[in-house]
Amino acid sequence: MILYDYILSPSCYKVRLMAALIGAPLELRPVDFHPGKEHLGEDLLALNPAGSIPILVDGDLILSESAAMLAYLAGQYAPDWLGEETATSRAMVQQWLAFAHRLTAALGGARLVEMLHGQGDLEALQTAGIAALRELEAALFKRRLDGGTWLVGESITIADVACFPYVALAPDGSISLDPYPSIRLWMRALRGQAGFVEMPGIHRRHELAPDPLTPAEGA
């Protein structure tokens, strides 16, 4: 499998991360996204007319949506990562994959404006990003009350991988993660997974750092 990749792209990173976590073979082809705009060149437009990356090629199969790539990798190498084999579990995984698109639009949009001087209303993007983070925090807090760690079920799934990168990089768009202890615990759990790989701005878990606690828990 070949992944057309940009090191600073969270969408590309989630595919690299998924492959690393499940031990799937992946050949990386670096793309000069910025400033070279190689993704808009003739060769890559032939693979993906939308002019976006990542692009995953496996034989005759060409995928241009990161959520589809996560599902394909899991289906091929680690079916348990698709969630439990119930209608409810699979539907919830799909719902979080859709939610990940909101994170990309809001948090990713704010990051693009701040880091790469992209076009967009930074304040509006930050507002949308904060709203999404509050929604995610509430869901993860409820999971914690029920004794769970992950977004769906008792084990990590592609839903967690899909949502993780843009959340972890929210500070790049000047959005602090300090108000969200459940999110930070969830990220800590994911960063502690065997096979975890880094990207610029996202690092492995520091074992000496204390777990984030809510004020009530820390009292």
pTM of the model: 0.91
Please report whether residue 217 resides in a domain: no
Q: Are residues 75 and 113 in the same domain?
A: no
Q: Are residues 116 and 175 in the same domain?
A: yes
Q: Which domain holds residue 164?
A: 81-193
Distance CA 78, CA 57 (A): 19
Q: Are residues 131 and 117 in the same domain?
A: yes
Distance CA 56, CA 166 (A): 20
Q: Are residues 68 and 91 in the same domain?
A: no
Three-class secondary structure of residue 173 per DSSP: helix
The predicted pLDDT at position 118 comes to: 81
Q: What is the CATH number of the domain that holds 107?
A: 1.20.1050.10
The low-confidence residues of the chain, meaning pLDDT below 50, are 215-219
Distance CA 59, CA 50 (A): 20
Q: Are residues 46 and 93 in the same domain?
A: no
Interior angle at CA 184, CA 113 and CA 68, nearest 5: 65
Token pair in block for residue 112: 């693009």
The predicted pLDDT at position 217 comes to: 47
Q: Are residues 21 and 108 in the same domain?
A: no
Q: Which long-range contacts (CB under 8 A, 24 or more apart) does 146-150 make?
A: 149/185, 149/186, 149/189, 150/186, 150/189
Please report whether residue 215 resides in a domain: no
Distance CA 145, CA 158 (A): 22
Instruction: Output the average pLDDT for the chain.
Output: 93
Distance CA 171, CA 165 (A): 11
Phi, psi of 129, rounded to the nearest 5 degrees? -65, -40
Backbone torsion region of residue 207, taken as left when φ is above 0, otherwise alpha when ψ lies between -120 and 50, otherwise beta: alpha
Please report whether residue 219 resides in a domain: no
The predicted pLDDT at position 5 comes to: 96
